[in-house]
Amino acid sequence: MGRLEGQVALVTGGGDGIGRAVVDRYVREGASVVVLEREKRLATMVADAHPGRVATVIGDVRDPAAHLAATERALDMFGQLDTYVGNVGVYDFGAKLHDLEIVELPDNFHEIFATNVLGYLLGVRAAISALRSSRGSIILTSSSSGSYAGGGGALYVASKHAVVGLVRQLAYEFAPDVRVNGVAPGATRTGLTGIGDLGGGRRLSEETRLLDSIARSIPLGFVSEPEQQAGLYVSLACPDDTGFVTGAVFPNDGGLEVRGRRAAACPGREEQ
């Protein structure tokens, strides 16, 4: 028996990247999963990979109706909902504030925050009654950018700091019925995309030079694959493992916290 035997999970963005890795791992651990996915092609692929164990709903996380439909699908098909995983995000590819046109800034802000923050609020609101009934758990995907500057631009970093605050506030609001935690991945080879003129059409997994540069700054020396992120999502969904854990955000970033500050170069001295 797997660690999640008999559980039912709802994963947003479960057709690709970390979301798909979480779905695959949850099924291996015995769970049934509903996936909310915007792209029909990706939804079809994940459902075909796990017949009878994965159901899909096509929709955008900015749409309240999509979340309501996904929760209803879980209850109708599997009779319960034990874990909600919020996982959809968009990136700004490090856009600096002074490079953003002021007239376009409101639209950029609203698109990133509507996806990265409001999308989680809507999903949790739709699922919370079912999660309270099962005394389940909520897992939100943050980022190393929720703790450190420099992993994105002002908009992305601010949105991921907001997710950390959301984890803590919801853990406070929903205790003792529902545990709320987060995972903060570092650089991971996923299809994370930008928006509009902030990397719209770019996919992080295709940015080889950028990922190679990031890898050199990571203590472990490499960029994560999605499958290397999935284990924490299993542990946080398993009450036997983490039944006394709530309000925590767990880094999975290759050791960014131990980098320390780069020494300032001194005249006549090479940086170590």
Does residue 55 contact residue 63 with C-beta atoms inside 8 Å?
Answer: no
> What's the rounded Cα separation, in Å, for the pair 252 and 67?
27
Whether 156 is catalytic is: yes
Q: What angle do CA 214, 219, 223 make, to 5 degrees?
A: 40
Catalytic residue among 84, 156, 172, 233: 156
Q: Active-site residues: which are they?
A: 156
